[in-house]
Amino acid sequence: MVKEDRILWKSFLEREKQHEINREEIELIARLHSELYRHKYNEPCTCSGKIWNQWIAEINKVYESK
């Protein structure tokens, strides 16, 4: 994770509305996850938070490990 991404991720983690994600945050999560876990960029359905929570947890593992 490059320095700019770490700054963006820190800002994401410190956002006010922890239970919501907006369009910009969706794009950030999808981009970071695709780069970190080397898969094609895609945006899962927002109808269920399960995949988003999983992706956030997986990105956090990388963010916290360095």
Q: CA 29, CA 45: separation in Å to the nearest integer?
A: 13
Question: What average pLDDT does the segment 6-18 reach?
Answer: 95
- Taking the model in full, what pTM does it have? 0.93
User: Do the beta carbons of residue 59 and residue 29 sit within 8 Å?
Assistant: yes
pLDDT, position 46: 87
In the predicted model, is pLDDT for residue 59 greater than 90? yes
Backbone CA torsion sign across 39, 2, 64, 32? negative
Count the Cβ atoms, other than its own, within 10 Å of residue 52. 19
Q: Which residue has the tokens 């700019």?
A: 4
